[in-house]
Structure 1
Amino acid sequence: MIKALLGQIKRWYAIPYLFMCIVVTVQSASYHLSANAFSWSWLGVSVAIAPLVLFMAIVYFLPWSGISNYIAVPILAALLGAFLAIIEMRFLPTFYTLFFGLGGVLIYIFWYSDLDRRDNPVLKIGAKLPDFTVQSIAGEERHSSAFLGRKTLYIFYRGNWCPVCHAQIQALAEEYQEIERRGVAVVLISPQSPEKSAELALRLNLTMQVYVDKENRAAKRLGIVHQYGVPLGVWGYGGDTVLPTTLIVDENGSIVYADLTDNFRVRPRVKTLISALDGVR
């Protein structure tokens, strides 16, 4: 009950918070331009909030994976902004700085980014990967047993709307020949629609296998459903998604590598996956 409630609150957080940060940053800049006066408190607003807005924009427009759990620059900027704001203690800018700046940054990094992932007894190294069924982009069903007989790298990703997922898949596409040379099949699975999956495959010119997990059926079998994981305001993807999950399974269907990240911004680097593949006998 409490976990579901927190999940719904998280769903409401990201886009409204980002919008308010942009509004407050613009208001701070407007003050200095229109009032023709300098204010430490209003400067503190920009210093505390702008770096996180910039970070979110960079992740969205220039996506990359492998970001660390704790991003230092926004935290240090928020602390500096809070210090500048309390020099004058003007009510409105100080409130903005402490609430949207320091408070918002800490919430984003230490609460919102955390997937609250529980221990998964199903996806243990050495265990057999449970059976599941997915669909091709054309709508044909495929059972997981069809992937047996060769090493398989499974990437369960949230959807086209997730910039970190996009970055992870793009990085895989760039190193795909290195992976294929090792005789490994790469299988991408997402609960998004076949049309959106086809769009991603076309945009990134993917030669990897792309499948659709309709209604998160496979994710439910594996215990990796992320309830209320799609942010409010992201249309066309439903409310639930999948917890980002990377698995390497050997020819016999046994799990030999599992990355069950507990932070949506952090994914295993391709070099890490290649090293793990090289270690599979």
Structure 2
Amino acid sequence: MIKGLISRLKRWYAIPYLLLCIGVSVQSISHLLGDTGFSLSWLGAAVAVVPLVLFMTMVYSRPYSRVVRFIAIPVVMALLGAVLAVIEMRPLPTFYTLFFGVGGVLVYVFWYTYLDRSDNVLLRKGAQLPDFELTSLQGNVVSTSNFLGRQVLWVFFRGNWCPMCQAQLADLANEYEALSERGIEVVLVSPQNRERSAALQSRLGASMQFYVDDNNQAAHKLGIVHRYGVPLGILGYGQDTVLPTVLMTDEAGKLIYVDLTDNFRIRPRADALIEVLDEAWV
């Protein structure tokens, strides 16, 4: 019950918070450029909040680049803005700086991006991958048993709306030839519809296999459903999604690698996965 409430709060947090930050940024810049005179507090509010808005804009406008490395910039700027704001200590801009700037960045880094993931007893190295069904982009239903006899990299991603997922898949696409040379098939699974996955496949260009997990049926069997994981305001994807998950199975369907990240900003890089392959199948 508590976990469900936290998930709902996170669902309601991202887009409304970003819109409020845009409003604060506009107001702060207006005061600095207006005729009311220079103010350290309003400068602090702008320094603390505007970089966060720019960071989020960058994340969503450049989803194929790993812009998550720049999260340190909004953190540093928020702290600098707080110092400027408290020198003059005007009530409203100081509140904006501390609440939306410092507070917002800390909430994003230390609360919002964490997935509150439970211990998964099914997905453990050495265990057999549970059987489940997926739908191909052509509408055919396939089972995990169809992949026996093949080495498979399974990547469960949230959807086209998620910039971190797109950056992860772009990284895999860039290294697809190296993965293919090692005899592994790359299977990408999402609860989004076939049209969206087909569009993403076309943009990425690599011959990776895309499948649809209708109504999160496979995610439920694997214990990787993310309830209320789609932010409020993201339309056409429902409210539940899948927890970002990366698995590798051998020819017998046994798990040789499991990554159950507890932070959606942190995903295994393709070069690290290649190292795992080289160590496992030398």
Q: What TM-score do the two structures reach when normalised by structure 2?
A: 0.96
> Residue 280 of structure 2 aligns to a residue in which SS?
coil
Write the distance in 2 (CA, Å) between the matches of 1:14 and 1:88. Answer: 30
Number of residue pairs the alignment of both structures matches: 280
In the alignment, what sits opposite 1:255? Answer: 255
Alignment of 1:230 with 2:230, yes or no, is: yes
Is it true that 1:80 corresponds to 2:80 in the alignment?
yes
- Corresponding residue SS for 1:161: coil
Q: Equivalences for 1:97-176 in 2 at 5 Å?
A: 97-176=97-176
Q: Give the conservation status (yes or no) of the 8 Å contact 1:190–1:242.
A: yes
- The residue aligned with 1:42 is 42
Shift of 1:58: 1.9
Q: Give 2:187's aligned residue.
A: 187
Determine the C-alpha separation between the residues in 1 that align with 2:253 and 2:66. Answer: 27
Deviation, 1:50, is 1.7
SS of residue matched to 2:93: helix
Could you list the per-position Cα deviations for residues 18-64 of structure 1 after superposition, in whole angstroms to 9, with x for gaps in the alignment?
Answer: 11111111111111111252111001111111222222222222233
Deviations 1:121-159 (A, max 9, x none): 111111111111000112110000111112100000000
Amino acid at match of 2:232: L
In the TM superposition, residue 13 of structure 1 has moved relative to its aligned partner by 0.5
Amino acid across the alignment from 1:12 = W
After superposition, the CA RMSD in angstroms is 1.4
Cα deviation code 1:160-192 (max 9, x no counterpart): 000111111111111111100011000000000
Q: Distance in 1 between matches of 2:114 and 2:151?
A: 30
Kept after mapping to 2: 8 A contact 1:67/1:267: no
Offset, 1:223:
0.5
The aligned amino acid for 2:210 is V
After TM superposition, give the deviation of residue 213 of structure 1 in Å.
Answer: 0.1
1:65 is displaced (CA, Å) by 4.3
CA gap 1:116/1:67 in 2 versus in 1, 3 angstroms: same
Q: Tell me by how many angstroms 1:67 deviates.
A: 4.2
Contact 2:175-2:271 within 8 A present in 1 as well: no
Q: Show the counterpart of 2:213.
A: 213
Superposed displacement of residue 66, structure 1: 8.8
Distance in 2 (CA, whole Å) between partners of 1:21 and 1:127 is 46
8 Å CA contact 2:58–2:67 kept in 1: the answer is no
Q: Partner letter of residue 22 of structure 1?
A: I
Structure 1 47/66 Cα, relative in aligned 2: closer, same or farther at 3 Å? closer
- Contact 1:66/1:268 (8 A) holds in 2: no
Q: Deviations over 1:218-277 (max 9, x none)?
A: 001111000000000000000000000011111111111111111111111110010011
Question: 1-side partners of 2:256 and 2:220: how far apart?
Answer: 21
Helix, strand or coil: the match of 1:115? coil
Q: Percent identity?
A: 59
> 1:206: how far off?
3.4
Note if contact 1:66-1:269 (Cα within 8 Å) is conserved in structure 2.
no
Q: Which moved more, 1:248-257 or 1:70-79?
A: 70-79
Aligned equivalents of 2:51, 2:34: Cα separation in 1: 23
Is there any run of 5+ residues in structure 1 with no aligned partner, and where? none
**Residue type of the alignment partner of 1:224:** I
Note the alpha carbon deviations across 1:57-98, whole angstroms, 9 max, x for none: 222222334946x94322222111111111111111011111
Q: Per the alignment, in what secondary structure is the counterpart of residue 261 of structure 1? A: coil
